[in-house]
Amino acid sequence: MRKWLPFGLGGRPQEPVKKEEIVSIEPVVHRSLALNVLFNQFKKEKKYRILDLGPALGGNVDFFSQFRCTICIEDLYSTLSSFDYLSPEDGFSYDAVFSYLMPYIRKARFDLILVWDLLNYLEREEFKHLIMHLGQYSRSGTLLFSLISTQQHIPETPCNFRIVDDERLEYRFNSSVLKDCPKYGKSDFDSLMPNFRVCNSFLLRNGFREYLFLYE
Amino acid sequence: MWKKTDVESNEVPGQPAREFERQPMREKAIIGPSLVFKGDLTGEEDLTIQGRIEGKVVLKKNGITVGRDGRVKADLYAKSICIEGDVRGNLYADDRIVIRETGNVKGNLVAPRVKLEEGSKFKGSIDMDSVQKQAVAPQSPKISTPPGKSPEAKESAKGVVQPKLGIKMDQPSSKT
């Protein structure tokens, strides 16, 4: 069975860009303005429901443990990468795959969705259907945090992000090989995530733009 | 079937132990690597699992350790739980849950304190809300099978079967 997702990209694996000036894979800590905005809104007494699409990192769990919260950790990219999927001819549908992998109860609503840099690794249709799926578990006011690369190339696989504190994020690169970046921008967000609007965005010096999207 | 070991002793190497100084022995049961247990297991002593268990383990006043060789498909209820091996199931601890770097857990965790060590693998939900932790009813763990790997999974991927497992989110939230 051929691999269809992911996501490389949409079943059309790209040749990695083999450049000499490969990114360093040493972890680096950067200031995160979006996290600062986000956690300034968090209140100790409220219970939060958080969906983390990244891998389970102890540091992030430790950070969130200061709040009353339920965290759901999906590690979506590695799950998708490790599975074989049906091709569209076999009756494949994005909705079915995402519903299968993230089968929350119907009335589940998250307060915060941490997408990290995953969107950079999705083709437009994948992007759109993932956001549609997440929209089912969002309510008015749900925040979605994402890092969109502004660079020509990105590491071949998503980074891991560890929250150091409420204004610093550690980037851990999993690959030193680069690939092309789709460079999603505002017009893409308007068409691919119609129920979310940009609430805050911050251009960072490290080649990412941080976004906080608000579900309406 | 059960091996008993002393886990606490006042003995000092090179010196004879004096009985009156000894602390009460705390017994610990071990399910060895070659053992397979299916069913519900309850008791009042600490347990180390190096073998395989399927079912449910309830040791509410004690600790459960799933060793590196341990393979568990069960819900675990204990005072504290430490995972070094492989677990598919929900973990409920009154004190804490620790997943060591060799641990791999798919399921839901409910405990006031949860620690994931660097390198550990986890998928599922973590409920660290001590107020609600007692009220959570056991649910099936979310164990994903790729949609393309079994006939049932194929049906699921086509939208025929909609699995409804996963996290417990039973109250609408107020705005952030």
In a domain, residue A5? The reply is no
Residue B151 located in a structural domain: no
Q: In 3-state terms, chain B is what percent helix, strand and coil (to 5)?
A: 5, 45, 50
The rounded distance, in Å, linking the Cα atoms of A69 and A111 is: 10
Q: Give the residue on B whose Cα is nearest the Cα of A99.
A: B162
Q: In chain B, what residues touch A102 (CB-CB under 8 Å)? A: 166
Q: Would an 8 Å CB–CB cutoff place A179 in contact with chain B?
A: no
The residue that leads in pLDDT, B43 or A107, is: B43
Average pLDDT, chain A: 85
Domain of A97? 28-215
Q: How far is B148 from chain A (nearest CA, A)?
A: 5
Mutate to test the interface with B, among A104, A214, A215 (most CBs of B within 10 A): A104
Collect all residues with Cβ–Cβ distance below 8 Å to A138 and sequence separation of at least 6.
A109, A110, A113, A144, A195, A196, A215
Residue-level pLDDT, tens digit, chain A, 216 residues: 444 455 444 444 555 555 545 556 788 899 999 998 988 888 777 889 999 999 999 999 999 988 888 999 999 998 887 766 655 566 677 888 888 888 888 888 999 999 999 999 998 988 999 999 999 999 999 999 999 999 999 998 999 999 999 899 999 988 888 889 999 999 999 999 999 999 999 999 889 999 999 999
Nearest CB among A58, A74, A101 relative to B117 is that of: A58
User: Which residues between 54 and 73 in chain A have a beta carbon less than 8 angstroms from any beta carbon of chain B?
Assistant: 56-58, 61-62, 64-65, 68-73
Using alpha carbons, select from A212, A190, A216, A214 the residue that is nearest to residue A200. Answer: A212
Lowest mean pLDDT among B66-80, B125-139, B140-154, B161-175: B161-175
Asked if A105 lies within 8 A of B153 by C-beta distance, the reply is no
B149 domain-assigned: no
Q: Which residue has the higher pLDDT, B70 or B146?
A: B70
CB spacing of B167 vs A105 below 8 angstroms: yes
Q: Do the chains contact at A93 and B117, CB–CB below 8 Å?
A: no
Q: Judge whether B121 lies within some domain.
A: yes
Q: Is residue A82 in some structural domain? A: yes
**Which residue among A62, A108, A142 sits closest to B167, beta carbon to beta carbon?**
A108
* A192 domain-assigned: yes
Residue whose tokens read 């430490």: B82
Percent of chain B with pLDDT over 90: 55
Q: How many residues does chain B have?
A: 176
* pLDDT value, residue A103: 84
Domain hosting B85: range is 3-143
**A90 touching chain B per CB within 8 A:** yes
Residue A94 included in any domain:
yes
Span B114-133, average pLDDT: 82
Does some domain include residue B139? yes
* A207 within a domain of the structure (yes/no): yes
Assess if residue B175 is contained within a domain: no
Least confident of A56-65, B5-14, B84-93: B5-14
User: Taking 60 as the threshold, does the pLDDT of residue B20 lie above it?
Assistant: no
* Peptide linkage before A7 cis (omega within 30 of 0): yes
Q: Are B167 and A109 inside 8 Å of each other by CB?
A: no
State the CATH number of the domain containing residue A168. Answer: 3.40.50.150
Give A-chain residues touching B90 at CB under 8 angstroms: none
Our count of domains for chain B comes to 1
Residues A154 and A158: their CA atoms lie apart, in Å, by 8
Using pLDDT thresholds of 50, 70 and 90, give the confidence band for residue B53: very high
Average model confidence (pLDDT) across chain B:
73
